[in-house]
Chain A
Amino acid sequence: MLKHRVIPCLLLRNGGLVKTQRFRDPVYVGDPINAIRIFNEKEVDELMVLDIEASRQGREPDYQLIEQFAGECLMPLCYGGGVRSLAQAKKLFALGVEKVCLQTAALSDFKVLREIADAFGSQSVLFSLDIRNGMFGRRYAFCSATRKDDGRPWQQLLHAAIENGAGEIVLNAVDRDGLMKGMDFPLIREATRDLRVPLIAVGGVGSLEDIRQAVEAGASAVSAGAFFVFYGPHRAVLITYPRYSDLEALLQMKST
């Protein structure tokens, strides 16, 4: 069994799948159900679907669509996007989603994580934090809904989320998003220092070697979008996923 998960991350926009670069310029990459079917065949151990417009538009998750995803997935599904309350999380779990991922609502009040964790367990609630590099190498927490600097130190936000029951952290390096040119390994290293919960590192995966390095830097799991949906220098859409045995060989070296 893999000691570190490798999770495809699908971005949802108006019911279709897109892929962004640095959180901008979404390019349509296909039908989500079709993508899920392919990932089923590839025996992916976990899937993450994030609706990148829901919070920005202040809308609820598209329950009907998510129910279809959950029914189609032969693996556990994590959903993020527009989840603001315990009631919404409850509805998503009833539809067959295993985990929910929150950012916007948690940044405005971390208590929502606590409520979901108390009702469904920490393992089912994730906090996602997007990090950008500002001037003079200063990193800051980027609110994806408002596209603004949160203002608070990002490490403080991570710890507040964990204290409030977040069972996993999804850490995205915005400036690496979609570029497939490598991940922000120093960021992963810094974020996982003294972290009590698993960290899923996202942003910039362009090779299997990136995945290995992210794990070495401390990530419990690595998630990627472009790496699994684009092929070749012209970014032709082709869903791929490494063979399980290749991942096993790649991630064998570390056991903790």
Chain B
Amino acid sequence: MKIGIPSIACGNFASVLNIVARSGGKATVLDRPGQLLECTKVILPGVGAFDHGMRSLNEGGWTPVLHEFAITQQRPILGICLGMQLMCSGSEEGVLPGLGWIQAQVRRFQLPKESPLKIPHMGWNTIKVRRQNPLLATDEGEQRFYFVHSYHAVCSDENDVIASTWHGSDVTAAFARGNVMGAQFHPEKSHRFGLALMRRFVELPC
């Protein structure tokens, strides 16, 4: 089994590689899109602005191969943070269309002026798991994750949302539709909770 990470120009992958290794998997950073199809699973991480991320995918030739991997072949793919947002239809943060695998718009947090909450939503927060899903346990008590984001995915189909978190309102913390999965938080920075999620991803049949 091989987990591939496209080396798009947004982010540092050391901590993702590290958590995959700790979860019993093996991840490799891929230089060329062609290598994607040699992988059984893909993780799409990323930090930064939406258009920058999409441009990086488009210009590097990743987009069509990712479609092949995720949609035609339906192999497991996990987006983290910006990587998750890129899986959506589009974002208020940019003008480029997203990958469009999940019917969702990425919107900026709207907090009332008097709110003590801040944008970005940065720090640990607890999540509420909404339904049975491949990534998150539904029966393990409080789970907390580390978040850093100013935008969040608003899914057209509520059923795609597998977990939510509270930051002024309920926002999507993770989604899943078949083989396409995304986490808004950083499992690689969320010690045992992140490890548990990654272990589930690594152990998914493929």
Contacts and interface: CB of A to CB of B under 8 A. Distances in A.
Contacts of A40: 191
B190 interface: yes
B116 to A, nearest CB: 10
Interface in B94-141: 118, 120, 122-126
Interface string A67-111: 110111111100000000000000000111010000000000000
Contact of A123 (B11, B122, B126, B144): B122
Interface of B: 11-12, 14-15, 17-19, 22, 118, 120, 122-126, 142, 144, 146, 148, 150, 188-192, 194-195
A75 B124 CA distance: 10
A221 to B, nearest CB: 11
Interface of A: 1-2, 40, 43-45, 67-68, 70-76, 94-96, 98, 121-124
A74 B120 contact: no
Q: Helix, strand, loop or mixed for chain A's interface?
A: loop
Given A71-B14, A71-B18, A121-B120, A76 B189 contact: yes
A75 B146 CA distance: 8
B5 to A, nearest CB: 13
Given A74-B189, A75-B189, A98 B148 contact: yes
Nearest to A121: B120
A79 B190 CA distance: 18
Contacts of A76: 146, 189
A1 B125 contact: yes
A70 B191 contact: no
Contacts of B146: 75-76
Contacts of B190: 74-75
B12 A67 contact: yes
Given A1-B142, A1-B144, A75-B146, A70 B188 contact: no
A70 B19 CA distance: 12
A75 B118 CA distance: 20
A72 B18 contact: yes
B25 to A, nearest CB: 15
13 contacts: A1-B142, A43-B192, A67-B12, A71-B14, A73-B15, A74-B188, A74-B195, A75-B191, A76-B146, A76-B189, A96-B12, A96-B14, A123-B148
A106 to B, nearest CB: 20
A132 B120 CA distance: 34
B192 to A, nearest CB: 6
Given A70-B15, A71-B17, A96-B12, A121 B189 contact: no
Contacts of A98: 148, 189
The 6 A-B residue pairs with the shortest CB-CB distance in the complex, in nearest-first order: A71-B14, A96-B12, A123-B122, A74-B191, A43-B191, A1-B144
A123 B192 CA distance: 24
Contacts of A2: 124
Given A75-B146, A76-B189, A1 B124 contact: yes
A125 to B, nearest CB: 12
B12 A74 contact: no
Most buried by A among B17, B120, B123, B144: B123
Most buried by A among B17, B122, B144, B148: B122
B19 A123 contact: no
A76 B188 CA distance: 9
A67 B123 CA distance: 21
Contact of B12 (A44, A45, A72, A95): A95
A74 B192 CA distance: 8
A73 B124 contact: no
B54 to A, nearest CB: 19
A75 B190 CA distance: 6
B181 to A, nearest CB: 20
B192 A45 contact: no
Contacts of B123: 123
